[in-house]
Structure 1
Amino acid sequence: MYLIKNLSSILNLDHVGIMDFCGTHEWTITHYGLRSLMPDPIRLIAGPGCPVCITPAHYVDELIKLCMDGVHVLTYGDTYRLPGSSDKVRSLAHAKSLGGKVTIVYSVLDAIKRAKANPNEEFVFFAVGFETTAPSTASPVYREVIPRNLKLLIAHRLTPPIIRYLFDNVPEVSLQGVIAPGHVSTIIGASAWEFIPREYNVSAVVAGFEPMDVLIAIYLIIKDLIDGKPKLHNEYGRAVSYEGNLMAKTMLNEVFEVIDAPWRGIGVVRSSGYVLKDKFRVYDAAFEYGIDLTKDVDLALPKGCRCGEVVLGKVEPTQCPLFMKVCTPRNPYGPCMVSIEGTCRIWAEHGGYVIKNLNI
């Protein structure tokens, strides 16, 4: 901290915006109170690092229809309470209370086991996540071990395109540094973030998740600002290589096609989503049930919810009028309060709003 304060004191800048992309980084920053320790002018900004938060509402709507029609929907716990767009049946949890067939699973392997054990029942697995979890979905597809009574609704999203989107389309969020996601980078490699210093003249640091990892990342960004030489750093070398996991990347390229995809509260982001390739259509719930995964209908959020602005770093959770009033961890109203990686959930459970207001 001394080094950060010492370096920041010689910065001739009124604002140093550093975005932590990953929800786990935001957890570390909030849980350990790192934001309150930052000297002026450093501002730590939470980014769109929660895949559940940006999953389109109409995906949830379609799954609600399926489960109410007798198709057994298998979902992660994080997406169980994720709201759709209707107040009549708000979520898969609500649908289950009304008789819908919904079960929480821990992985696609759990889904496969359940489908094999019940061959006369139709199942759909809700495949959500960034590049970290996409290989676990791709692997059984690639190996063709998925039973024919199990289909996959693919909601995987890619992380570098949303960072490009931020730089290109959200100028009000001024960034002088990016803390790139560590877990994602174990798959896609540190090289995936080279475009940030090269194209946007901003330093990027692939970082681990201990408080010291985050502080080192901030230090490196501040040092680069003073030197006037933006760079890509791999602080998380103990887990992340430059190339990433080549086997996983090859498998992803074999199984998935990259598409322009909708992000909840944001809109369609170019080349930011996965769909199954045509040769794997036999496993595709979107093809089987006629679901349009690409339609842009997801700017709308629950009334009053500012989640779309929160995930882009435009506002903090405390600037949403629903935060810790209508919307709480026990009764989440917006998607950013549902997931354990959501910025609002993290601030609510770990006192981010209290620590910030202490102004220490």
Structure 2
Amino acid sequence: MKYMNEYRDPELAKKYLEEIEKTVTQPWAIMEVCGGQTHSLVKNGIIEMLPEQVTMIHGPGCPVCVTPLNLIDKAIHLALNEHVILCSFGDMLRVPGSKINLLEAKAKGADIRILYSPLEAVKVAEDNPDKEVVFFAVGFETTAPANALSVIHAHRKGLTNYSILASHVLVPPAIKAVIDDDESNIDGFLAAGHVCTIMGNSEYHPLSATYNVPIVVTGFEPLDVLQGILMVIRQLEANKAEVENQYSRIVKEEGNTEAQKMIFEVFEIRNQLWRGIGEIPESGYAVKEKYAAFDANIKFSISIEEAPEHPDCISGQIMKGIKKPYECPQFGKKCKPSFPLGAPMVSSEGACAAYYHFSGLIEA
């Protein structure tokens, strides 16, 4: 707790805010890429405390939110098969599919198990040799090593009843897609510190140089976020565009090379569909042919047509930073955590959920 409190010091936060106020001379729009940073900004009231010249734009950094609708439907289809045990992290269960969500499928009798690690799913497969066990492998680069390790373990154990339904999305291509969007007007970025813990900072240098934007790798505690904002503003005011590492206590330039080896043993980079955004080139991990026997997409040959999003949901515009959650006509009305129209109202990293729970825009 002492370690955490060091990054939640009100007096030091006040000094950062004063320094930001002294430094900024013109309007700047800064995107925090990760939903964890969004929650820190909203929950701790940082957005309201920043100078009016500083606008925080919430990015697509919520892997649960951008998991394709079609893949949610595939997971539900598999879960409703009496011969399948579907394993998942808990935050996927209430993400809306085209008709129902996984929690509703569980209520219909589906054997869906909430786990904290894909390695637990491998054990479930060992203990249930008469069932097919599928792990719903969702996440950014941060969860990819553990998901890859589960495949390697299942392969070594000779398990033929284990597979993963993968939806891994990559952050740097998403930043590029956001910058390239005609409606985007972002001056600098806070990159996701946990992703860079795995992958390092090298992928961000070409982005910063090509697009002339500052990118600061940032943590998630209030002081992390405030210092990251200050570092971006200092660059912008000095007409610089570099990659800086605010999260240096955790992130190294080269990242975690052992974790990277694990990822690229099992996965390869491919184009990826992002829910609400569309296809982004080379922005996802897919299971390599070498491990095709552990790819649920191949193993079960599921063919499900792509369904449209709810017509009242503007989650795509929110995740691209074009609109804020409270600008959605259904925010807090038709769309609530108890009945979400889109994934950002469900996930612990979703911008809509952050504003609903912490912004004070919803009456108690």
TM-score past 0.5 threshold? yes
Q: Is residue 64–residue 92 contact of structure 1 (8 Å, CA) maintained in 2?
A: yes
**C-alpha distance in 1 between matches for 2:302 and 2:168:** 15
Partner secondary structure for residue 98 of structure 2: coil
**C-alpha separation between the residues in 1 aligned to 2:297 and 2:75?**
10
Equivalent residue, structure 2, for 1:358: none
After TM superposition, the score normalised by the length of structure 2 is: 0.91
- Distance in 1 (CA, whole Å) between partners of 2:174 and 2:361 is 26
Q: Which amino acid aligns with 2:356?
A: A
Q: Cα deviations across residues 206-261 of structure 1 (Å, max 9, x unaligned)?
A: 01112111111111111111211111110100000001011111221121111111
The amino acid of 1:260's aligned partner reads N
Distance in 2 (CA, whole Å) between partners of 1:142 and 1:60 is 25
In structure 1, distance between residues paired with 2:360 and 2:291: 44
In the alignment, which of 26, 50, 54 is matched to residue 42 of structure 1?
54
Q: 1:267 — aligned with what?
A: 278
Shift of 1:43: 0.1
Corresponding residue number in structure 1 for 2:287: 276
**1:6 — aligned with what?**
22
* 1:329 alignment counterpart: 337
Shift of 1:182: 0.6
TM norm structure 1: 0.91
Indicate the residue corresponding to 1:141 in structure 2. Answer: 151
- Residue 220 of structure 2: which of 198, 209, 212 is its match? 209
CA contact (8 A) 2:200 2:253 kept: yes
How many percent identity over aligned positions? 39
- Deviation, 1:49, is 0.8
Find the counterpart in structure 2 of residue 129 from structure 1: 139
Partner secondary structure for residue 163 of structure 2: strand
Could you tell me whether the CA contact under 8 Å between 2:215 and 2:242 is conserved in 1?
Answer: yes
SS of the counterpart of 2:135? Answer: strand
Contact 1:182 1:240 in 2 (8 A): yes
How far apart in 1 are the matches of 2:360 and 2:285?
33
* Local SS of the residue matching 1:114: helix
- 8 Å contact 1:132–1:184 — kept in the other structure? yes
Q: Distance in 1 between matches of 2:291 and 2:325?
A: 40
**Alignment partners' CA distance in 1, 2:303 and 2:64:** 19
State the secondary structure of the residue aligned to 2:215: strand
Output the CA distance in 1 between the equivalents of 2:88 and 2:341. 19
User: CA offset at residue 38 of structure 1?
Assistant: 1.3
- The alignment yields a C-alpha RMSD, in angstroms, of 1.8
**Contact 1:346/1:352 (<8 A) preserved:** no
Aligned counterpart for 2:115 among listed residues 102, 105, 108: 105
- Specify the alignment match of 2:94 in structure 1: 81
Counterpart CA distance in 1 for 2:77 and 2:362 is 40
Residue 313 of structure 2, aligned match among 305, 320, 327: 305
61-70 or 276-285, larger mean C-alpha shift: 61-70
Q: CA deviation at 1:354?
A: 6.4
Unaligned stretches of 5+ in structure 1? Answer: 356-360
Q: Is the 8 A contact 1:52 1:128 kept in 2?
A: yes
Deviates more, 1:335-344 or 1:92-101: 92-101
Query: Contact 1:179/1:204 (CA < 8 Å) preserved in 2?
Result: yes
Rounded Cα–Cα distance in structure 2 between residues aligned with 1:236 and 1:28? 15
Aligned residue in 1 for 2:14: none
Query: What residue is the counterpart of 1:59 in the other structure?
Result: 71
The 8 Å contact of residues 286 and 292 in structure 1, kept in 2 or not, is answered as: no
Structure 2 residue runs without a partner (length 5+): 1-16
Are residue 96 (structure 1) and residue 106 (structure 2) matched? yes
Please point out which of 348, 352, 355 is paired with 1:340: 348
Secondary structure in structure 1 of the residue aligned to 2:270: strand
Out of 107, 112, 120, the residue aligned to residue 130 of structure 2 is 120
Deviations 1:147-204 (A, max 9, x none): 2211111111111101010111x23221111000011110010222112320111101
Alpha-carbon separation, structure 1, partners of 2:63 and 2:334 = 23
* Residue 158 of structure 1, aligned match among 145, 170, 173: 170
> After the TM superposition, which of the residue ranges 196-205 and 141-150 deviates more from structure 2?
141-150
CA distance 1:352–1:16, change in 2 (3 Å): farther
Question: In structure 2, what is the Cα distance between the partners aligned to 1:142 and 1:63?
Answer: 22
CA distance 1:354–1:204, change in 2 (3 Å): farther
SS of the aligned residue for 2:92 comes to helix
Judge conservation of contact 1:31–1:352 (CA < 8 Å) in 2. no
**Whole-angstrom CA distance in 2 between matches of 1:349 and 1:145:** 44
Amino acid in structure 2 at the alignment position of 1:6 = K
Distance 1:245 1:353 in 2: 40
The residue type paired with residue 7 of structure 1 is T
Aligned pair count?
Answer: 344
| CA positional deviation for 1:352 | 5.8
